[in-house]
Structure 1
Amino acid sequence: MKAAVLRAPKVLQLSDIATPEAAPGELVLRVRAAMVCGTDLRILTGRKTKGVRFPSVIGHEFAGEVVQVGDGVTQFKTGDRVCMDPVIPCRACAYCKTGHENVCLHRQAMGYEFDGAFAEYIRIPAIALTAGNVFMMPAQMSFESAALAEPLACCINGQRNAGVQVGDTVVVLGAGPIGLMHAALARLSGARQVIVSEPNAARRQAAVDRGVEHMCDPSTESVMEFVKARTDGLGADVVILAIGVPQLANESLNLVRKGGHVNLFAGFSAGETSNIDVNLIHYNEIVVTGASALRRRDYELALNMLSAGQIDANSLITHRYEVADSLAAFDEAGSGRALKVAIHNV
């Protein structure tokens, strides 16, 4: 089969590799849609290394069709349309036992410990089926929409940590696909107003097209003044950092009101640090949280929200490629022109 194989940092090659076979307890899917994630770009450039293998196939946002069922699998059959929460918890460590499986001590993931979805076929390991990580797609749902359940589920986890409430003013820094998902979720949670800061004009327009009330261009105007002017000088209730720029962490603290919440949602590259004014946290009693991956319940909720049309998934996908053009798909995803880039296997 054709696959985009990561040979080394910054070395991604389209290769012919062996088509996987389903061992007992496993599935093989024909990948019908896979999305290029910002994390995939960080893996490719060597800025994310944990769990990454060489050579390997990356890609963790996907949906597909069952083409082979291993012995002992009874819950799925050939032809089923399925998608998967790619983060597989051990379900036995201290974090799993307390409901924090997203930070499981022994978690494994597709596109990391197991070959991922930038290929014509993908093998789903038995532990994923046993853990309940594989989901049947709703009948009317497209493969593209289902492939977006994973990033939306991660945003749901971040929103929970951020504590968005009815009537809040929410600021989202970054209007990439993740920032747009956060803006949509904040509105669904009852936010009174959503403010998005984004230097890219096309992405600012994308946010406006999706109902964002207030757009700020940080390259030409002060984000702090913009936010203060719309909050009676107090600042936002919640600030979500949806772009992996460590220097913006301290800006996030300056944008939130006393007693407000800051969620450092975006992933940062290994070794990156940020200088923050700890007195802002101390005297203003700011709650600062992170966001790591997702839980299976988040994935199921995201799948249902996408299926019901509460989040418009298709409008986030701006570019589409076939598996044979995977390298071009990565180039486009890293260009800043695209929102979400899909790789198809039709």
Structure 2
Amino acid sequence: MLAASLASPGTLTLDRRPLPALGPRDALLTVEATTLCGTDLRIVTGQKTKGVTPGVILGHEIAARVWRVGSALTPGVDVPAPGTQVGLAPEIACGHCEPCTAGRSNVCASMALFGTGVDGGLAEVIRVPARALACITPTAREIAPPLLALAEPLSCCLRATTRLPITEGTRVLVLGTGPIGLIHCALAASAHASVMACGRPNRLSPALALGAQVTTASQGDDLVAEVRDWTGGAGADVVIIAVGDPGLVPVAAQCAAIGGSVSCFAGFPAGALAQIDPNLVHYRELTVSGSANATLADYAAAVTALSTGALDLSALITHEFALTEVDAALDAVRSRVGLKVAVLPERTPSPGHH
């Protein structure tokens, strides 16, 4: 099979290799699409090495189809039947540590991940070991594979919303209009919240298309003033920081209403510090929270939302490449020419790409 693996930090190799071995309690899936994110780019460039196994096949936002199941498994009982379209959650939790037993498997103390420590989706076939069978989630109905691959980032955003009081009429400010920020806009809008999106000027139109009522490219004090104007002086009930800029943390606190919530959703640079006025937190009774990864329940909810049409994120898929064009796909992520980039193993290469 064809696969894109990390030969060494900073070096991606596309080569042919034998199919993964199928153990009696394993499953093999054919990969239909894998969408890329900034984490993939950081791994390929060598910026991210923690938890990354040398030689691993990359890709953690995976849409697939059940192909073969191990001899000890009952199709339709232990694992969806061959031919079933499925999403594959990347988080393989141990199920036994304190976070897992407390319902926080998303921050498992010994988490393994498809695409970093376990071979991922940038291949024609992926092996799901016995311990990860629960990561397989069938769709309610078949949908476009690139859209299904978005269940992974959507699940992470859903996880964050479980910690935020977003309901009808909630005033939500989303800082950052990359794919994650745009998903947060869509989620908040689906809850009938009022949404303001702040980000790059060229990303504001997609924010409106995905449910934001108001957009701005303002920063700092100008942004705070705009938010106050938008909310009649009250501030935003919920502020979601969806870009890894620690300088946005104090701004988010200033934008929040009395009793408001600030979510530090993005991953920040290692060693980054954010200064926040503790009196804002104290006197305005702010809640500052974080969120990382997703539970299997979050992932299943994401697959259901996408495959039932309850949430339409198809506008996020702007570029598609064949697996043989994986370098061009990563270049598209690097240059930020679009929103989400999908790699489809069965896609015919575009003219000029090799």
For the aligned pair, the TM-score class normalised by the smaller chain equals over 0.9
Residues 124-139 of structure 1 aligned to structure 2 (within 5 Å): 124-129=128-133, 132-139=134-141
SS in 1 for 2:319: strand
The correspondence for 1:99, drawn from 81, 103, 107, is: 103
Match of 1:293 in 2: 293
Secondary structure class of the residue paired with 1:162? coil
Q: C-alpha separation between the residues in 2 aligned to 1:148 and 1:221? A: 34
Q: 1:190 to 1:313 in 2, by over 3 A?
A: closer
Tell me the distance in 1 between the aligned counterparts of 2:264 and 2:17: 38
**Count of residues in correspondence between the two structures:** 342
Aligned residue identity for 2:97: C
Q: Deviations over 1:128-165 (max 9, x none)?
A: 11xx2211223332222221111111101111122223
Distance (Å, rounded) in 1 between the aligned partners of 2:216 and 2:11? 37
2:116 pairs with one of 100, 104, 112: 112
Q: Where does residue 304 of structure 1 map in the other structure?
A: 304
- AA paired with 1:185? L
2:87, 2:137 within 8 Å by CA — same for their partners in 1?
Answer: yes
- Aligned: 1:14 with 2:14: yes
The SS at the match of 2:115 is: coil
- Larger CA deviation: 317-326 vs 244-253: 244-253
Secondary structure of the equivalent of 2:237?
Answer: strand
* Deviation digits for residues 188-230 of structure 1 (CA, Å, limit 9, x no counterpart): 2231x2000012x331111122232101012699211110111
Contact 1:42 1:269 in 2 (8 A): no
TM-score (normalizing by structure 2): 0.91
Q: Structure 1 residues 185, 76: closer, same or farther in 2, change over 3 A?
A: closer
What is aligned with 2:46?
46
Q: Give the equivalent residue in structure 1 for 2:5.
A: 5
Q: How many Å separate the matches in 1 of 2:182 and 2:222?
A: 21
Distance 1:219 1:17 in 2: 49
Distance 1:221 1:44, change over 3 A: farther
* C-alpha separation in 1, matches of 2:273 and 2:161: 23
Q: Relative to structure 1, is the Cα distance of residues 251 and 186 closer, same or farther in structure 2, using a 3 angstrom cutoff?
A: same
Output one character per residue of 1:169-200: Cα deviation in whole Å (capped at 9) or x when no partner.
Answer: 10001111111111111122231x2000012x
Give the Cα separation in 1 of the matches to 2:221 and 2:214: 13
The separation in 2 between residues aligned to 1:278 and 1:220, in whole angstroms, is 18
Deviation at 1:337, TM superposition (A): 1.7
Give the structure 2 partner of residue 319 of structure 1. 319
When normalised by structure 1's length, the TM-score is 0.93
1:187 counterpart = 2:184? no
Match among 157, 160, 164 for residue 159 of structure 2: 157
Deviation per residue, 1:96-146 (Å, 9 max, x gap): 1121111111221111221111112111111011xx221122333222222
**Which residue of the partner structure matches residue 125 of structure 2?**
121
User: Are the counterparts in 1 of residues 87 and 303 from structure 2 also a CA contact under 8 Å?
Assistant: no
How far apart, CA to CA, are the structure 1 residues paired with 2:22 and 2:250?
49
- Structure 1 residue runs of 4 or more that deviate by more than 6 Å after TM superposition: none
2:180 is equivalent to residue 178 of structure 1:
yes
Q: Where does 1:56-95 land on structure 2 (aligned, <5 Å)? A: 56-74=56-74, 75-95=79-99
Once the two structures are superposed, what CA deviation does each residue of 1:263-314 show, in whole Å capped at 9, x if it has no partner? Answer: 0111223333323323322232210000110011111111111112222122
1:196 corresponding residue in structure 2: 197
2: CA distance between counterparts of 1:250 and 1:221?
A: 11
Structure 2 partner of 1:37: 37
**Which shows bigger deviation, 44-53 or 162-171?**
44-53
1:299-333 Cα distance to aligned partner (Å, 9 max, x none): 11111111122221221100000100011101101
Cα separation, 2, equivalents of 1:78 and 1:305: 23
Residue of structure 1 aligned with 2:171, choices 169, 172, 176: 169
Amino acid paired to 1:277 = D
Contact 1:48 1:270 in 2 (8 A): no
Corresponding residue of 1:332: 332
Compute the displacement of 1:59 (Å): 0.9
Q: Select between 166-175 and 12-21 the one with higher mean Cα deviation.
A: 12-21
For residue 145 of structure 2, what is the aligned residue in structure 1? 143
In the alignment, structure 1 segments of 5+ residues that lack a partner are none
User: What amino acid sits opposite 1:88 in the alignment?
Assistant: I
The Cα of 1:44 is off from its aligned counterpart by: 2.6
Q: Give the structure 2 partner of residue 206 of structure 1.
A: 206
- 2:199 alignment partner AA: E
Structure 2 unaligned segments of length 5 or more: list them: 347-354
